[in-house]
Amino acid sequence: MPNVTAKFKVTRITPWGYGSETSEVELTPDYAEGKNKDWADKTPSGVIRMTVRGEVVERFPLGQSFEIIFHPEDSPASL
């Protein structure tokens, strides 16, 4: 089964206060400069939300784009 690749960017970072070092990072599709052109025809929207702790949030600066690759775990390429 082929991989599915999409371009997402960080659109929101929400710290969870009260002394916690936990934040929620939200990524949404990135359409700048033709990114996601092929993918957008079939799946035009999406949201990825992750809860991260500590310094990990620094790896997801607001506005940063990421290439997300969905690779089936049981595919022959992962064996």
CB distance 19 to 46 below 8 Å: no
pTM: 0.77
Mean pLDDT, residues 58-70 taken together: 93
- Residue 63: closest CA among 7, 25, 9: 9
Total count of domains within the chain? 1
pLDDT per position as a tens digit, 19-31: 678 999 999 988 8
Q: 43-48 — which CB contacts under 8 Å span 24+ positions?
A: 43/6, 46/6, 46/8, 48/8
Does the residue 79 lie in any domain? no
Count of residues for the chain? Answer: 79
Any bridge partners for residue 13, and if so which?
Answer: 25
4 vs 40, higher pLDDT: 4
Range of the domain at 62: 4-71
Structure-token pair, residue 50: 């992750």
pLDDT above 70: percentage of residues in the chain: 81
Average pLDDT taken over every residue of the chain: 84
The confidence score (pLDDT) of residue 76 equals 61
Does the residue 78 lie in any domain? no
